[in-house]
Chain A
Amino acid sequence: MAVIEARALAKSFRIPSDRRETVREHLFNAFRPRSFERLDVLRSVSFDVRKGETLGIMGRNGSGKSTLLKILCGIYRADRGDLLVGAPLTPILELGLGWNPELDGIDNILLLGTAMGLRLREAKNAVDEILAFAGLDRFANVPLKHYSSGMASRLAYSVAFKTVREVLVLDEIFAVGDAEFRERCEARYRELSAKGHTVVLVSHDPRVISAFCSRALLLDEGRVAFEGRGGEVVDEYSRRVAMASPGPALA
């Protein structure tokens, strides 16, 4: 049974020749025509995600991965195409940024936790566990502005892992923190997957895609260029990267 059905999703961004972001600019330039450049980030993307499976998405920078995830999560709106998401979905995106720097760890956990769907009581009960998972117990009362970017990302992952509903959408997971924290994330991810959660994950890391994904897509210029088992997609990705660059294929 498909939990996510995406049909011919398309998204482009219109980039104006001159930006008008203020009332003043709009008024003074009202009669001056401006041109737009269209950037087609997604041209037509179709796929299904079945219940309980982990679908990987690979692709070079600018291939549309992050835009696709944002559309899946309802943060961006597709221009065309149909999307059906049959179960509540937890996004874990762009975690490095996005905290209130003036608030301490606990308040930020409560804020993000309730925004991501925890009840306030649940969020309060989970604070210790979240801080422990992130390895940040000692920094609970320190304002986020004093955290390093790695610490902030770890905290975000920990909150997100706690708020998981049915479908988990992950952008570049396991790219954060030290080896120990990555290990903990992977263990937590395996636990969720074993419980039958559906996962969509984007990664550049061949190891992650082949180890975790039963199926994967390769995005190229806003289309699904290749679809297959995790290992097959990694091979295809490596082949394309090798073709595109004269140097050694993969780090």
Chain B
Amino acid sequence: MRGSVTAAGTRVDVAGLLWTLARTDFKTRYHGTFGGFLWALLKPALMFVVLMSVFSFIFATSPNYRLNLIVGLFLWDFFAEATKTGLTSLHAKGYLLAKTRFPSWILVVASASNALLTLAVFLAIFLAYLAFAGRAPGAAAAALTLFYLVLFFAITVGISLAGSVLFLRYRDLNQVWDVAVQAGFFVAPIIYPLEILPERFHFWLYLWPPTPVIQFCRAVLVDGVLPTARANLLLAAMAAVILAVGVLVFSSQVADAAERL
């Protein structure tokens, strides 16, 4: 049986704390310079160059292969980076948890800031390129892209919330997740078009959350096709379930977090 606690609320400036965490995270990671940040953009960009050089020959028949590849890579990079840092976020900021009491989910959400920034910069460049090439997305496509990104963010936050508290119990969970992410890279249709696989497998691949997000973003940004309302609803439902499970796991475990640091 747990003791009952009634405590007067402690108000925290959530936006201020989020901003401070994101800003200082950026500072420690890139020594506070934009040059350092551009350096970080090089990783997925280099991946793109290498993969494109090899695979665009294999998939030469696919007309939008390069655009699809780069959209897939940057979305994937966001997912991998955000969930990996999210998983260790409570542990990494343990020095704050042991000292004072504040809503610790803020630490988990803030840990995605860096990956979010990289994705935002990529999107800005990518949209500029599309506009330059005369393929700028219309209002509906832009709105849907934003919608998918919000859902993707909810998915990564859900996974990070659950992972961050479980990591305090299982200290090798980050290694397990690394393996999952590595395998997941090939489960998601990033370097290959989904169409090369028999249709009966598609459903299963769509259960891996990055798959629908990547496919839908490609549809609206590259192919100019809007997914059906039903497809959008299913993706929203998937994001809601993952976020809800994450919140549940987090709230059931977080009270003991400071004891497990």
Contact = CB atoms under 8 A, between A and B. Distances in A.
Interface residues of B, number: 40
A103 B2 contact: no
B24 A73 contact: no
B16 A76 contact: no
A21 B170 contact: yes
Contacts of A75: 97-101, 258
Given A21-B170, A88-B9, A103-B27, A70 B4 contact: no
Interface string B5-23: 1111111110111011100
Q: Looking at B7, B95, B99, which has the most chain A CB atoms within 10 Å of its CB?
A: B99
A123 B3 contact: no
Contacts of A116: 99-100, 102
Contacts of A117: 10-13, 100, 102
Interface in B93-115: 95-102
Contacts of A112: 96, 99-100
Interface stretch (A22-30, A173-181, A234-242): A22-30
A111 interface: yes
Interface string A55-91: 0000000000000001001111111111111111111
Interface stretch (A31-39, A93-101, A209-217): A93-101
Given A77-B2, A83-B4, A120 B258 contact: no
A221 B260 CA distance: 23
A26 B170 contact: yes
B199 interface: no
A121 B16 contact: yes
Interface in B142-191: 169-173, 176
Contacts of B19: 120
A116 B101 CA distance: 7
A82 B3 contact: yes
Interface in B79-132: 95-102
B256 interface: yes
B1 interface: yes
B172 A89 contact: no
Nearest to B94: A98
B5 A74 contact: yes
B99 A93 contact: yes
A180 to B, nearest CB: 25
A100 B3 contact: no
B102 A21 contact: no
Interface string A145-164: 00000000000100000000
Interface residues of A, number: 52
Nearest to B170: A23
B3 A77 contact: yes
B28 interface: yes
A110 B27 CA distance: 14
A115 interface: yes
B169 A91 contact: no
B224 to A, nearest CB: 42
A10 interface: yes
Interface in A113-128: 114-121, 123
Contacts of A120: 13, 15-17, 19-20
A208 interface: no
Given A21-B169, A118-B13, A74 B7 contact: yes
A3 to B, nearest CB: 9
Given A73-B100, A98-B96, A121-B16, 6 more contacts: A23-B173, A81-B3, A85-B6, A115-B96, A115-B102, A120-B13
12 contacts: A10-B3, A22-B171, A23-B172, A23-B176, A24-B172, A75-B258, A78-B2, A79-B1, A81-B3, A85-B7, A87-B8, A98-B99
Closest CB pairs A-B (n = 9): A120-B16, A78-B3, A98-B95, A22-B172, A85-B7, A114-B17, A74-B101, A119-B13, A81-B3
Interface of A: 9-10, 13, 21-24, 26, 70, 73-91, 93-95, 97-100, 102-103, 107, 110-112, 114-121, 123, 156, 165
Interface of B: 1-13, 15-17, 19-21, 24, 27-28, 95-102, 169-173, 176, 255-256, 258-259
